[in-house]
Amino acid sequence: MKAIVMTATGNPDVLQYRDIPEPQITKPTQVKVKLAAAGVNPVDTKIRRNGLLYDQALPAVLGCDGAGTVTEVGHSVTQFKPGDKVWFCHGGLGREQGNYAEFNVLDERWVGLMPSSLSFVQAAALPLVLITAWGGLYDRGDLQEGQTVLIHAGAGGVGHVAIQLAKLMWGRVITTVSNAEKAGFVKALGADEVIIYSQEDVVSAVLNLTGGKGADLVFDTVGPAVFKESINATAHFGRIITLLGLDEMDLTEARMRNLLIGFELMLTPMLRDLDEARDKHVKILQQCRSWIDEGLLKPHIGHEFSLQQAAQAHSLIEAGHTTGKIVLSIA
């Protein structure tokens, strides 16, 4: 089968379009999927630059997000049949094969029926970012109806679904973007207030919008500098959830505000084989499938590339400031 293979760590040109052996079902609970699309996420580019997340020799196939059609099932599979259209977040970290390929094989436990209203490209864009935003807002962030949430980088892959999930909880959403075009985009998604961070001070703007109180919850999808700045934009006894690690920094003000600080890394259940937590990920996708088919949640595809153009997709995502998601079309 055709696949994009990571041949070494380094720049995007280490991603090579090659023929590799087609995976086969080896366990009775596995399904084989003909992939039609694979999502491209920042974690893919970090693995390409820094190395696999398991002690495994290269080459490897990247890509956690996939969508496609079931072509074959093991004799103990009960939930799926050939012809079912599915989506999932599985593999691509170094141990199991990822989804930059024409086929993948995985246990039925980690697969879900994709939303009937979406194309394969749209479906492949969503699993990782939906699970990440859900975990950050609902689980770690404990967002409640009527609370104000500040979502950084609202036009990005995680940010644009986080806005929609926050509004489904009847939260008040303040978000940051880099320019007026993106401000219009996030407003259309449901953001109540938009701060163009290149034109105004984010902390001052948040305090003005909240009567000096600050946001009840801050969702940082950017990194340490934004996290540190956000402390002063968070209400006393509020929460800050970040997707990134923190550099050494002075947290005196966070302590004075009695803030709860949390981390959201949706890959942890895969990396540490926490199967019950992965079951919850599948349930999250099931709920989001319902919302999507009801028209309450919509993905935005910023760029679509062919499988052969994976290196270009990586270059674009590393350049930053993309809107929505980047997806590889495989069909």
> CA-CA distance, 105 to 303, in Å (whole number)?
27
> CA-CA distance, 275 to 129, in Å (whole number)?
19
What DSSP assignment string belongs to 220-268? E-S-HHHHHHHGGGEEEEEEEEESS---S---HHHHHTT-EEEE--TTH
Number of domains in the chain: 2
| Amino acid at residue number 257 | R
Residue 92 and residue 143 in one domain: no
Residue 163 and residue 223 in one domain: yes
> What is the CATH classification number for the domain harbouring 94?
3.90.180.10
Q: Render each residue's pLDDT in the chain as its tens digit; 331 residues.
A: 999 999 999 999 999 999 999 999 999 999 999 999 999 999 999 999 999 999 888 999 999 999 999 999 999 999 999 999 999 999 999 999 999 999 999 999 999 999 999 999 999 999 999 999 999 999 999 999 999 999 999 999 999 999 999 999 999 999 999 999 999 999 999 999 999 999 999 999 999 999 999 999 999 999 999 999 999 999 999 999 999 999 889 999 999 999 999 999 999 999 999 999 999 999 999 999 999 999 999 999 999 999 999 999 999 999 988 999 999 999 7
Residue 216 and residue 181 in one domain: yes
- Asked if the structure places residue 177 within a domain, the reply is yes
Residue 159 and residue 251 in one domain: yes
Residue 137 and residue 226 in one domain: yes
> What is the CATH classification number for the domain harbouring 178?
3.40.50.720
Name the DSSP class of 210. Answer: T
Residue 180 and residue 57 in one domain: no
Output the six-digit token pair for 32: 């084989």
- Asked if the structure places residue 277 within a domain, the reply is no
What are the E-state strand segments in the chain? 2-6, 15-19, 30-40, 65-73, 85-89, 103-107, 112-113, 148-151, 172-177, 193-196, 215-220, 234-242, 260-263, 301-306, 325-329
- Asked if the structure places residue 312 within a domain, the reply is yes
Q: The domain containing residue 250 runs over which residues? A: 129-263
Q: Is 138 exposed, middle or buried (0-12, 13-18, 19+ CB in 10 A)?
A: middle
| pLDDT value for 102 | 98
Residue 256 and residue 158 in one domain: yes
By residue count, the chain amounts to 331
Output the six-digit token pair for 131: 């699970």
Round the CA-based radius of gyration of the chain to a whole number and report it: 20
Residue 200 pairs in a beta bridge with: none
To the question of pTM greater than 0.95 for the whole model, the response is yes
Residue 87 pairs in a beta bridge with: 67, 112
CB 227 within 8 A of CB 251: no
Residue 93 and residue 179 in one domain: no
Rounded alpha-carbon distances, angstroms, from residue 64 to 58, 87, 161, 217, 230: 17, 11, 18, 28, 30
Residue 149 and residue 233 in one domain: yes
Look at the block and give the residue holding tokens 């950017």.
Answer: 222
> CA-CA distance, 143 to 240, in Å (whole number)?
11
> CA-CA distance, 284 to 264, in Å (whole number)?
15
Helix (H, G, I), strand (E, B), or coil: what is residue 3? strand
Alpha carbon distance, N-terminus to C-terminus of the chain = 12
Neighbour tally for 236: CB within 10 Å: 10
- Asked if the structure places residue 275 within a domain, the reply is no
φ and ψ of 316, to 5 deg: -70, -45
Residue 164 and residue 211 in one domain: yes
> CA-CA distance, 46 to 59, in Å (whole number)?
16
| pLDDT value for 90 | 98
